[in-house]
Chains A and B, each alone.
Chain A
Amino acid sequence: SQQGEEDPQALSIQEGENATMNCSYKTSINNLQWYRQNSGRGLVHLILIRSNEREKHSGRLRVTLDTSKKSSSLLITASRAADTASYFCATDAIETSYDKVIFGPGTSLSVIP
């Protein structure tokens, strides 16, 4: 199984609602990043949270990190149709000898206007 796994796999909400996605990982990390990908295009970096941080904000995004539970959550507030995309968490497993970062399978978010 993967180092990072997002939950749920798919999420459909109405515009204006909040969207919450979760990421669980297995090994210790230095940092965790969230990326967005619009329909098969390149990924866009959203936010990076370090292992000694518990919460971070960027605009309508709020990321939390719980290293004791090896999990992170991404909250998008007041969602917009333009937020429709796949969201990936990426971790740098400390024990990994060769991978730079490992991406989870992603959460597909659909925001209905």
Chain B
Amino acid sequence: KAGVTQTPRYLIKTRGQQVTLSCSPISGHRSVSWYQQTPGQGLQFLFEYFSETQRNKGNFPGRFSGRQFSNSRSEMNVSTLELGDSALYLCASSPTSGRTYEQYFGPGTRLTVT
């Protein structure tokens, strides 16, 4: 099976712009979670989507949003970018929602905001 794929791998944006990141889960996986990783804050949970519905949401401002399509692919959008949004954004898929399943991570999208 192909692993989790994320596009693009690298992105440079300017403050105030918006960005959309994409994640394709492992075939058959219906849950997609997004994480932000920074040196200062570590890995922080953004949100989880399951069957096109947001199931869980972390403590991030409304500028961070996401959606999931019927084929389980997911997109994450960040509007009005700030310098502090520079981070590695990771998505992870699992067969179903819930806390007892291991997650399979993609390689991440490295976002740099200048």
Contact = CB atoms under 8 A, between A and B. Distances in A.
A54 interface: no
Given A102-B45, A104-B42, A106-B42, A31 B107 contact: no
B106 A92 contact: no
B102 A100 contact: no
Q: Dominant SS at the A interface?
A: strand
Interface residue tally on B, bucketed by range: 20 to 34
A61 interface: no
B75 interface: no
Given A31-B100, A40-B88, A98 B58 contact: yes
Interface string A40-74: 11111100101000000000000000000000000
17 contacts: A2-B42, A31-B99, A31-B100, A42-B90, A42-B106, A43-B90, A45-B104, A48-B102, A92-B99, A98-B56, A98-B58, A99-B45, A100-B45, A102-B45, A103-B42, A104-B42, A106-B42
Interface of A: 2, 30-31, 33, 35, 40-45, 48, 50, 88, 92, 98-106
